[in-house]
Amino acid sequence: MSFTIDKQTLDDLAIFSHRGKKSIYDLFNRAATIGGAAQLDQMFRYPLSDMGQINRRSAILRELHQYHIKFPFRVELFDIAELYLKNTDTRSQLTKEQNNLKHKFNQVIGGDTHFQSVSNGVTAILEILIAIIDFISNSNLPAESKARAFFLDDFYESVKELSENEILKTRKIKSLSFEIVVDLDKQFRYRLNDKLRKLINHIYTLDAFLAVAETAQRNNFAFPVATTGDKYEITIKELYHPLLKNPVANNITVDPEGNIIFLTGANMAGKSTFMKSFGIAIFLAHMGFPIPATHMEFSVCDGLLTTINLPDNINMGYSHFYSEVLRVKQMAEQIRLGKKIVIIFDELFRGTNVKDAYEATVAIASGFAKIPKSIFIVSTHIIEAGEKLRGMHENINFIYLPTHMQGDKPSYTYKIEKGISDDRHGMIIIRNERILDILEKGPTKPHHK
């Protein structure tokens, strides 16, 4: 089963760049090659929902990180090699009969561009193969490691047939004779073309994996562990948002006894940032990638859906409230299909009046409370809804982000606490900005020259 995610969620969590803003993909994309970056992009677009695949990828990345493996190839070789291998037109194949006086004369004056192009392609392939042989020989990965089995063993199978070639033994790949270029071209472009393309694609996978390992090293990210069991549980320690300059870390545990997180707090207290941090961790963990935290264990789920920055659908004529209603319906339909989903909804029903928002928040949260195999994080300003729900359901975990007043100025810890916020500081902030004073003074008199 594929992992369910949509554009709204990708945009909410800034997984890919939007309007020039830095993204989570940008954070990880340290790939040396265009092919490696493309493979990384595909991993981001298709998270995993199988525990074995997640833990296997995570183990490989952890080993590459632990043993400080570096990309062992010259980057410029791959453009040359790919262009060379794409041209399989037999009319472009060289023959030994072409090694005549005309060819030799053209070589002297630099006019035989076709031969030079083929020779460059052959040389690029040879250099890649030599780099693979050295990588296999010099790698410090243990014999039993998953990274060795995934990369080095596969690389060995790819070069085994060619490793006895005299050119690869002597490594004299400069100024190859016409006859040798003809022989190798016949092998590389025609007999071994598919095999070499798969090999290069696997090198791109190595490049993408090394980019992820380097990101973990540079940011001190932790590698999550996917666990078994029918109970859906998540434990994250020191979780923070990876795109903030000075983030504040929080611990969070979700289990069947508290699979609904009801989050309250004032504006600017950090609710949206916490929800985004949690969503990013869930997303990266289901890719087998390292996360911005010190520890994470999690039960694998079937998808992640968020509603943090939901736009009005003007083209469809939908109000913000109706867009929210349709989004909740979409989430409910995924749950009805039997999927285990992580759902994050920031400011549930902010697009309607307080009375309707209160009743709808209580009703929807109560509906969520009947779904034990999914996880829900719901934030709201309507703290009365939290008080109502506290007496209705035992599996709701009430947490809040506090505001501390220093005189008439609010300060924020961005650290989660148990309970329901009673912060009501909106008017204090309005007064601090002297908005009422500005309005009371009225418009300034027009200046006449």
* pLDDT, tens digit (0-9, with 9 covering 90-100), for 82-128: 999 999 888 778 776 666 545 554 554 455 678 888 999 999 999 99
Structure confidence at residue 151 (pLDDT): 93
Structure confidence at residue 449 (pLDDT): 56
Contact 103, 147 (CB under 8 A): no
Percent of the chain with pLDDT over 90: 63
**Of residues 166, 150, 158, the one with CA closest to residue 129:** 158
Alpha carbon 38 to chain centroid distance? 13
pLDDT higher than threshold 70 for residue 363: yes
**Of residues 291, 264, 373, 361, the one with CA closest to residue 321:** 361
Structure confidence at residue 101 (pLDDT): 46
Amino acid identity for residue 348 in this structure: L
Round the CA-based radius of gyration of the chain to a whole number and report it.
Answer: 29
The two beta strands, 403-406 and 409-412, are antiparallel
Q: Distance between CA 203 and CA 151 in Å, rounded?
A: 8
Contact 58, 223 (CB under 8 A): yes
Locus of tokens 């062992």: 72
266 contact partners, CB below 8 Å, separation of at least 6: 401, 403, 410, 412, 421, 423, 424, 425, 426
In sequence order, which ranges of 24-67 are alpha helices (DSSP H)?
Answer: 24-28, 34-45, 51-66
Structure confidence at residue 393 (pLDDT): 92
Give me the torsion for CA of 402, 405, 411, 412, rounded to 10°. -10
Tell the CATH topology of 222-437. Answer: Rossmann fold (3.40.50)
Q: Distance between CA 181 and CA 116 in Å, rounded?
A: 10
Determine the average pLDDT of the residues in 261-269: 90
Most confident range, picked from 59-63, 192-196, 386-390: 59-63
pLDDT higher than threshold 90 for residue 230: no
For the chain, count helices (H), then strands (E). 18, 12
Structure confidence at residue 108 (pLDDT): 46
Whether the pTM exceeds 0.95: the reply is no
Per-residue tokens: 325: 């209603």
The two beta strands, 341-345 and 375-379, are parallel
What are the structural domain ranges in the chain?
51-219, 222-437
Structure confidence at residue 161 (pLDDT): 78
The two beta strands, 417-418 and 396-401, are antiparallel
